[in-house]
Amino acid sequence: MDPTPLGRQALEIWLSGVDAVRSERLLQSAVRRKGDRLTICDEQFSLADIGKIAVVGGGKAGAGMAAALENVLGQQLLDEKVTGWINVPADCVRPLHKIHLHAARPAGVNEPTAEGVAGANQILEIVEQLGPRDLCLVLISGGGSALLPAPVPEISLADKQDVTRFLMHAGATIHELNTVRKQLSRIKGGGLLRQSRAGRTIALLISDVIGDPLDIIASGPTVEDQSTAEEALAVLDKYAGSPPDVPQAVLDYLKRSETEKTSHPAALSPVTNHVIGNNRMAIAAAAARARELGYAVHDLGSDNAGEANDCGVELANLCRSIRDDHQLVAPPVCVISGGEPVVHVVPTDQPRRGGRNQQLVLAALEVLWHDGLPRIAILSGGTDGEDGPTDVAGAFADAGVLEKAIENNLAPRSFLAINDSYTFFDACGGLIKTGPTHTNVMDLRVAVIS
C-alpha cells in the first residue's frame, strides 16, 4: 500500500537523511588523491614514500566505503600497492578491483558466524605482514562487532554466539554489549592495532553509536581498550547472566582475566581515528528537506536511547500535543530524532518477526489509535536498511495504515505483546523496504504534523 501524501513526505524527509550519509559520499569527502599526493582527512602523504597500502575492516557500510576508496585511488595505484579485505553482510558483496568483500554473515542475521571468524583471521594476517613503510587504512562502520568475530582461544564461537544472543535479547545497550565483546576478542578493543606492523594506521569510521565513542564503534578494533573484565562481568551480572544462557567458559575466562589483570602491550602502529559520518549529519539533511517542504523543524537530537515501546509512546504523545495544543511550535511541524532504542524480547512459542523501529512505530500507533491519525504520520527506520532479523528498514504509520488495520481487525496491543510488529505492518502496508543502504548511522525517526 502506498503512503498517504503526509506519509510520502515523511518518507521523503527520511530518505534525504539517509542519502546524506551514504558511505560513498562520506569516503570521497575524506580521501582525495591528486597526482602523487594522497590526502586523508587533511593529512597529506607522498605515495612515493609509501610501500604497500592495506585496506581492511568491517561493517555494513564497508562495501560502499571500499568501492569509493578504489575509485579515489585509481586502477594503477591499486595494481601497484593495494591489497584489501573487508567483512560485510552477504547481501553487500560485489566484485571490486583489489579490495575483497567477504560475506561474514547472512543478511539480517546480526551475530558472529564461522565465516566472520575466517574473515577476521585473514584481516589479522594481512596487517601482521605489513612493514614500517606501509600504510594501513581501516574502514569501520556499524555492525562491525558482529562482522569481525575473533574469539580468544579460551572460548569457542558457539560461546560467543550464546553470550551475544543473551545480551541482545535481555535488552543490553550497545555500550554494555561491546564492553563484553571486547574482553572476549583478539581483534576488538585495539586487537587489530596490536597485531599490525604497519608504519602508519588510519581508521575511517562511520558511527552507529550515540556520542561517537571510538572504543564502542564496532568495539574499537583500532582503539586501545580501557574497559576491564570486571566491567564485563558486571554487565552480565546486571542481566543475571549465568549458565546455560551464558556459557561457563565465558564466565571462567572473564574471572581469570579479572584476577590476572593482564595489560596489553603498547600499540606498535601509530594510529589516527577519524569519524567521517554520524547520525547528526543525517538529521541535519532531513531537517533541511523538511524545511524545503514547508515544515517547521523540532529537532530532538541524536542521543535518544531507551526502550522502543517507551520511545514510541513519547513520540506519539509529543505529536498529539503539537497537533492539538500547538505546544512548542504550531503546525505544520516535522519532528526529527535519531538514536537507537532497545527491545525487550519477550518469551513466546508463537511465530513472530520484528525490529526496534517497527516496534517503536507500532507503540506510537497504539497511542494514536482512537484519534484516527488525522494530520499525523510517523516513521522510524534503520539507516542501514535493516531492522532486526527482517528484510525491512522499519515502518511508518499514517491514516492509510490505520484504516487498513481496522479493516483487517488488527489491534496493535496483541502484536506488541510478542514483538510481532512485522506481521502487523506487513498486513497493513506500513513496511519500509530499501535493501542495503551501505551506510549505518543508527536510526532516524520522522514525524510530520500538518
Domains assigned to the chain: 5-13+279-449 (3.40.1480.10), 22-277 (3.40.50.10180)
Count of C-beta atoms within a 10 Å radius of residue 169:
15
The 10s digit of each residue's pLDDT in 107-166 is: 988 899 999 999 999 999 999 999 999 999 999 999 999 999 999 999 999 999 999 999
What's the one-letter identity of residue 374? Answer: P
pLDDT of residue 328: 73
Confidence of residue 322 (pLDDT cuts 50, 70, 90): very high
pLDDT for the residue numbered 329: 81
Q: What is the pLDDT of residue 268?
A: 58
What span, in angstroms and rounded, lies between the C-alpha atoms of 237 and 258? 14
Contact at 8 Å (CB) between 374 and 390? no
pLDDT of residue 263 exceeding 90, the answer is: no
pLDDT tens track for 375-412 = 999 999 999 999 999 999 999 999 999 999 999 999 99
Residue pLDDT, tens place only, 55-94: 999 999 999 999 999 999 999 999 999 999 999 999 999 9
pLDDT for residue 265: 53
Q: Hey, CA dihedral for 141, 142, 146, 152, is it positive or negative?
A: positive
Gyration radius of the chain's alpha carbons:
22
pLDDT-derived band at 373 (thresholds 50, 70, 90) equals: confident
Reported confidence tier of residue 292, pLDDT bands at 50, 70, 90: very high
pLDDT of 1 over the 80 cut? no
pLDDT of residue 258: 84
Residue 200 has pLDDT above 80, yes or no: yes
Contacts (Cβ under 8 Å, ≥6 apart) of 5: none
E strand or H helix that includes residue 364: helix 356-367
Q: Which three cell numbers stand for residue 83?
A: 591489497
Q: The C-alpha cell of 352 is what?
A: 513472530
Q: What percent of the chain has pLDDT over 90?
A: 92
Residue 261 reports pLDDT greater than 70:
no
Residue 260 has a pLDDT of 79
Average pLDDT (168-190) is: 95
- Computed over every residue of the chain, the mean pLDDT equals 95
Burial letters 419-434, b for 16+ CB under 10 A, else e: bbbbbbbbbbbbbbeb
407-432 confidence digits (pLDDT tens): 999 999 999 999 999 999 999 999 99
Query: One-letter amino acid identity for 80?
Result: E
By C-alpha distance, which of 413, 367, 412, 361 is closest to 387? 361
Does residue 2 carry a pLDDT above 90? no
DSSP 307: B
